[in-house]
Each structure stands twice: as C-alpha cells, then as structure tokens.
Chain A
Amino acid sequence: MTATTNRPAPGPITPPAKPNLLYRPEFRQAVYQVLLVVCLLFAFWTIANNVADNLARQNIASGFGFWNRTSGFDISQSLIPYSNQSTYGQAFWAGLLNTLLVAVIGIVFATVLGFLVGIGRLSSNWLIARICGAYVELLRNVPLLLQLFFWYFAVLKNLPGPRQSIALPFGASLNVRGLYLPAPVPEPGFGAVLTALGIGIVLSIAVAIWARRRQRATGERFPVLWTTLALVLLLPGAVYIALGQPLSFQYPVLRGFNFQGGIAVLPELMALLVGLSTYTASFIAEIVRAGIAGVPRGQREAANALGLSSGLTMRLVILPQALRIIIPPLTSQYLNLTKNSSLAVAIGYPDFVSVFTGTVLNQTGQAVEVILLTMLVFLTISLITSAFMNWFNKHIALVER
C-alpha cells in the first residue's frame, strides 16, 4: 500500500502564547504553600493566644521553673535515689528510667518468646505448629490493656498473702505483694570472677574474628559456638570455684507481715512485663514466620543438597536471609512495646507517663510544658531506636555484586 498522508506545508512557527500566570505550575505551587503556611501560622497563633489567656485566668505559671521545686510525692520504685523531698526533675528521671527498665527487659523477653513461637509455627510437628498458631491468634486479638488488667487484677492480686507465699525454686517466693528473689552479694575475690568473664568475652570475640578470617581463606569451619560457651561459662566458673565461691545470696525471709531482704519485684512491674512481652511476642512471632517464609524455597533445597543438617540449614542459610526481612518490622514492634509501656499508668506502675504526665501534671497544672516534654522524650527514644536498628540493618544487609 502506498498511501501518502497529506501534511500541511510547514508555515512560520508562531511562539505559543505566554500562558496565563494562573496556569503555571510553579506559581500555583507557591500559592498553595504560602496559603498552607499562613493557615498553620494563624492556627498556632490562635491556639497560643487562647492558651495564654486560659493559663492567665487560671493563675498557672508557665516556663520550666517547676523543674527544681520539691515534688512532695513518693514513687514506689526508683532506680535512682528518690524521696518525696526530691525535685520534679528527679521525678522525671526516676520515671524515665522505670520506663526504660520495662522496655529493655520486655524487649528481651518478647524477642526470645516471639522467635520461639514464630519458628514453632513453621515446625514440621503438626501439634507444635497448631499450638503456636493458637497462641498468636489468641493474644494479638485481645486489647493489651485488657491483658494487663487480667494479669494484674485477676491473677497477681488474687495470689495468697505473704504468710501463705508460693515457694519457687532457688529460694524465691511469690505472693500478693510481689515476687521476692534472692539477691546476689559479692564477697572479696568476686572481682576476679568478673575479670575472668571479661577476658572470656574478649577472647571469644577474638576467636570469632580469627575463625571467620580462616574460613574466608581456607573454607575450614571452626566450632565457634562451643569455644565461646567454654570461654564465657567455664573460664569464670573455674575461677569462681578456685577462689572458693566468693558469692553468697541474701534470701528473702518472712519477718512480721512482709518479706525482708532479697530483690523485691513489684506486682505492677510483673504484670506489665508479662503482659507486654507475651502480647508483643505474638506480633514478633508473625514477623518471624513471614520472614522465614519469605526466604526462597530454593535456598533450603540447595542447603539440603549440600548435605547440611536441618539445624545448620536454619542457622547458616535461612535465618541470616530471613533476618533482613525481619529487622525493619521488628524495629517498629520494639518501638510499639516502648510506647505501650505507658499503659503502666492504668495499673499503677510508676513509669514515665504515670509519674510525669500523670502526677507532675496534676500537681503543677502546667499541661503545655509537661505534654511537650513527654512528646520530646518519646520522639527521642523512637529516633534513637530506629537509628540503631537502621545501623544494624545496614550491617547485615545483603551485599550485592
């Protein structure tokens, strides 16, 4: 087919008419943004004015002058010296440390339990897989606050009194006032054991580095796990026995109406830790399961073809790859746990929100300052955690060619 299309002869090119200013994207964008800024500024200005008016009318001071005033209230658990003669500033730190304590212990428990349940859910054992599945579906579909109430009011508050305490192994005992653990008391010579432990840790890190280099160079593997265990456990253990066991335990004993001595764990702290870690573990388990399921099937088959045992396949092939999928959502679960620890206020554990945003705010009435500081604290915690996890994530990320 030879059909030619008739094109109009090219005439003189007329430059397009200059578009109206209103139709230029840059101009429009500038207008929108200026409008947004003006609206926001107006809103802030109105709010600030109203707040100033309201505060003036209620005779509430502003500024951070309250920081150094005496608080006058007690805190049932504090990691730093604190009494009702201390300042609001010290109350702030006591509360913050209590929150961090719960967060750190909770994260450790939740991670261990979560990984166990998550791997268990993929177990070839039908029964174990079902049990782990039931655990996840049960715990993550019930509000955390309800679970905390359950542990605190229904379980721990129904425990027997100090005289009928439940005796636990290793001289610990449990009653309605809390959990009493034996406290370790170091005696002279215990420093040597700690030194041995330090040396063991340093040596095992050195061995791990050497073993990795050797494996890179020759392909030979070295039993790093066993040497590490030996160095970290046996070396200090041997020193401990050689020096005549320089560590004694102070056991809690019943005196009058309560236990004395030992380490006392508040029932509020126990309820919070149990509730937070079992709840978060159910989410971590799902993340772990998804991460392991996300590793291509060929990887497992290749490992089997190489003759690796199922344990080695998991440790050397599957988990390192699954971790890359697991780490980012795991980070947000850690942050969730830290944020959820603020539910402590409902069961009376003196965490940061309960002490500072609750009691200090009520006593001083300085809502603006207290809430701003609260937000600042949580933002700082979440920024630090995500920075660390991003660093860790980068460290283990897949290095592609």
Chain B
Amino acid sequence: MTSTTAEMRPPRSEVGVIGWLRKNLFSSPTNALLTVIGIWLIWTVVSNVVDWALLHATWEGEDGKACSREGAGACWPFIQAKFSQFMYGRYPEPQRWRVDLTYVLAVIGLVPLMIPRFPGKLVNTLYMIVIFPIAAFLLLSGGYFGLPYIPTELWGGLLVTLVVASVGIAGAFPLGIMLALGRRSRMPIVRWVSVGFIELVRGVPLITVLFMASVMLPLFLPEGMTIDKLLRALIMVALFAAAYLAEVIRGGLQAIPRGQFEAADALGLTYAQKMGLIVLPQALKLVIPGIVNTFIGLFKDTSLVLIIGIFDLLGIVQLNQTDSKWFSHATAMTGYVFAGLIFWIFCFGMSRYSLFIERRLAASDRR
C-alpha cells in the first residue's frame, strides 16, 4: 500500500524576505544586536558623507571664501579649478594632447592584452614592451619630430603617478626575473648575491631608498654628471619593486613540477631555452595575481615620491592645499577625498582584475 501525503509548503517564517531576514540578520539575540549596531553605523556614516559631499557642499565659487561658511561641506569649486593641474601638473597647456594620446595608446595596447580570449597576444605584447614605451617617451618628453621638449620638472599629477608606477614595474620585471632565477641557481655566489639584494631591499622602507636616490645617487656619479630627478626616482623605484617581484616569481618557479625541468634537460635544451621556453611561461602565468598585487602596492607607494620633491597626484593635491587663494577648512578634506577616489578606482579595478584571473586559473586547474 502506498500513500502519498500532499507536499506541504515550508512555514512562512522560513522563506521569502522574512525567512532571509531571520536567517541572515536575526538568527540569535547577539546577531540581532549586531544588526542593529550595524544599521546605526551605516546610517551614521552614510548620512554624514551625504551631508558633507552633497547637501552642505559648496558647488560654485571663485575662491576659498565661498567654502568658508559655518558648517560647509565639500569645496567642489576647488577641484574644478585645479582639475587640470591634478591631471597634468605643470605640463604646458597646448601640449597636453600628447599626454592624452599616450593614454589612448596605452589603452589600445592594454585592453586586448587583459582580455584572455582576445587573439594575437604575441603581437600585442611586442607592442606593449617595444613600440609603446618608445612612442610614450617620444610623445611625453618631446624634442623630436617638431614636438617641443618638455622637461620632467613640469610633469606632475596623475601623469607622474602613472609614469612612475608603470616604468617602475616594467623596469623591475627583467631584474626581478633574473633575481628569482639567481636565488634558485646552483651557483653559490650568484645565489648569495641575489639573496643579499632581495633581503636588503625588502628589509628597508621605500623612503630610505628614495632618500638614497636624492642624496646618494649624485655622490655615486663622476664629477659633472647629473641625472634627472624623476629618472633617479624611477631607477630606485624599479630596483625596489624588483626585489618584491623576484619573491613573487620565485613562488611561481617553485610551483613548477620538477619533471618539467628534467624534460627540458632531456631534450637537450640550454639553460636559456629551458627557462625561456618551458619554465618561465608556466611560472609567470601562475603568478599573474601576485604580479598585479605587487603593481597595486607599487601604484600606492608612488605617492611617496612627493617626499623627495616630485609632484605626483598626491603631491600636487598637497601643494595646492597651501594655495592661500583657496584657503578654507574644507579644502584639505576635499582634495584628499578626490585624490583618494582616483587612487581607489585604479587599485580596486586592478584587484578585481587579479581576482578574475585567479578564478580563471583555478578553473583551468580543475578541468
């Protein structure tokens, strides 16, 4: 004898909005208390931010007086007036199209490179590591093809932030790979030199390294020879990033099974062929997320160059706070929030991209 009972609907308190609330927000007295505290926290933060950024903000004005009323929020005209400075520094206005064109060239190269499905990765990579740097240098610095020369003292703002970060990581790449290989080398002296460099650089703060760039590098050079201040900072940032990159790449090298090395040896490949054709392509692919994270760290650290007198985005914002024309209590906060927002968009975007690659790699491993 078989009997079926009618399928019963779950109790109303277990499904739908109420069920979700009960399960996720009010499952126990402690949780209910936490939820209430959380709602209060969100309300406080959001209402204050909206008050400051929208309701009590100053939208129009010619100088700091407009933002100086009692209880005034954000001073948006300050950003409006200084926007082009924040983006380009003191780069001469009629020449700013050159910076924009460089950005366009970078985007043309980067976007297809970042989409895994896009074909032609080899051509694309060659464009990014050979053609683009030369084009960018010629465009930004000028002095050729009728483009007036723009000394680096005039560069500033977001332009310098992007230049320092990307040149830093690009310069760090070859050195980082060499250091990582050196650290795993069978030759003791090569290994010691690599370990010594990596640990020395990772042990000291970037500021010390930048101080070195500004006070010690000039001492290292023979009499009469000077290097551009920005270039000095770039060299030091690249050396600094190389040490961190080397450790990331070493992690990738360690993850390659020994069989791959042995197979390459069995085929009679030379060391350069073995590393360049077999090991590094696999190892680098594994550590793309780590490389992106290093780049995010470097991107944030570029703001330190303001300490040795190079005006990156934060440096220019900081410089403009002292502009007496725009003096008000809201100016500093507005400037930092604006700069913070730009940094945040870049870093958050990159970290999401790294997460996406990580998931993709994990998926291809599962098969």
Contact = CB atoms under 8 A, between A and B. Distances in A.
Interface of A: 29, 32-33, 36-37, 40, 47, 50-51, 53-55, 57, 123-128, 131, 137-138, 140-147, 149-150, 153-155, 157-158, 339-340, 342-343, 345-346, 353, 357, 361, 367-368, 371, 374-375, 378-379, 382-383
A56 to B, nearest CB: 11
Given A125-B38, A368-B216, A379 B203 contact: yes
A383 B200 CA distance: 11
Given A127-B35, A353-B208, A357-B211, 12 more contacts: A32-B190, A37-B189, A125-B35, A128-B34, A141-B343, A141-B344, A154-B333, A353-B211, A361-B215, A371-B212, A375-B203, A379-B203
A138 B344 contact: yes
Interface size class of B (residues with CB under 8 A): 35 or more
Given A37-B189, A123-B34, A146-B314, A371 B304 contact: no
B277 interface: no
A346 B26 CA distance: 46
B273 interface: no
Q: Which of B186, B218, B344 has the most CB of A within 10 A?
A: B344
A47 B24 CA distance: 65
Contacts of A368: 216, 219
A178 to B, nearest CB: 18
A146 B336 CA distance: 7
A340 B300 CA distance: 12
Contacts of B348: 137, 141
Interface of B: 24-25, 27, 31, 34-35, 38-39, 41-42, 186-190, 193, 199-200, 203-208, 211-212, 215-216, 218-223, 296, 300-304, 306-307, 314, 318, 321, 329, 332-333, 336, 339-340, 343-344, 347-348, 351
Given A143-B314, A145-B314, A375-B200, A150 B340 contact: yes
Nearest to A137: B348
User: SS class of chain A's interface: helix, strand, loop or mixed?
Assistant: helix
Nearest to B208: A374
Given A50-B222, A125-B31, A125-B38, A146 B205 contact: no
Given A125-B24, A142-B300, A361-B215, A40 B193 contact: yes
B200 A379 contact: yes
B162 to A, nearest CB: 14
Given A142-B344, A145-B304, A146-B336, A375 B41 contact: no
